[in-house]
Amino acid sequence: MLEKIVKTSSNEGDIVLDCYCGCGTTVAVAQKLNRQWIGIDITYQSISLILKRLEDTFGKGVLDTINIAGIPRDMDSAIALANKKDDRTRKEFEKWAVLTYSNNRAVIQQRKGKDQGIDGIAYFSSDRDKQEKVIFQVKSGNVKSGDIRDLRGTMEREGAVIGIFITLKPPTKDMLKEAKEAGIYQSQYMNQPVDKIQIVTVQEIIEEQKRFNITLMLEVLKSAEQITEIGTQKELDLE
């Protein structure tokens, strides 16, 4: 239906605006029909869904043609988002950190109330095609070695083999030591073993483009059929 609407109401190269783009159906149709588009949504989770949908449908190259506004681009903007007074807005910092580091392949913890030490979950294939769980935890305030011990306890409770601790502030030496003492995980599908607990800073995510490098099984969206002929989405200068 949306494809018919876009076709009849616009021409190739025209701009399609969706002010509440949600999971990005209008955006995907506009991309397919060689329209320029602007999609707006209030949560980073929706943005990540759209990015994953476009990548699955049109290939990774399409992401290089998209101009994204309103998300952390440097440490100052990350700190500003993490320190928002409104709880709902501040939660977007956690979503952004988990989804960005996992390349939009983790699933955000949706439980109401306390998150029980889990901000995101992902799965990867291990030996004998067994599913193994990865849990993500994000901290924007002061951090200490006790946080890593708590993460180890959460991993045991949840049956997770890897824990990712994302922190806005630099980790202490005791935290790094505690993480190393958790040991390593090795699978026949891995080129080398990895630490069971990995500490990642927001600075590494932003400035070094550091990302989780284990191929995950659970995607934010189901993979869509690859489209052979890809329309080019030109960047829009909104200034």
Between the CA of residue 204 and those of 19, 32, 41, 101, what are the distances in Å?
32, 34, 26, 10
pLDDT one-digit tens code per residue, 68-127: 888 899 999 999 999 988 777 778 999 999 999 998 889 998 665 555 789 999 998 876
Residue 228 has pLDDT above 50, yes or no: no
User: What top-level class would CATH report for the domain 72-221?
Assistant: alpha beta
Please list the helix, strand and coil fractions of the chain in percent, rounded to the nearest 5, in that order: 40, 20, 45
pLDDT band (50, 70, 90) for residue 224: very low
What separation, in Å, do the N-terminal and C-terminal C-alpha atoms of the chain show?
33
Contact between 207 and 146 under an 8 Å Cβ cutoff? The reply is no
| Section 41-45 average pLDDT | 84
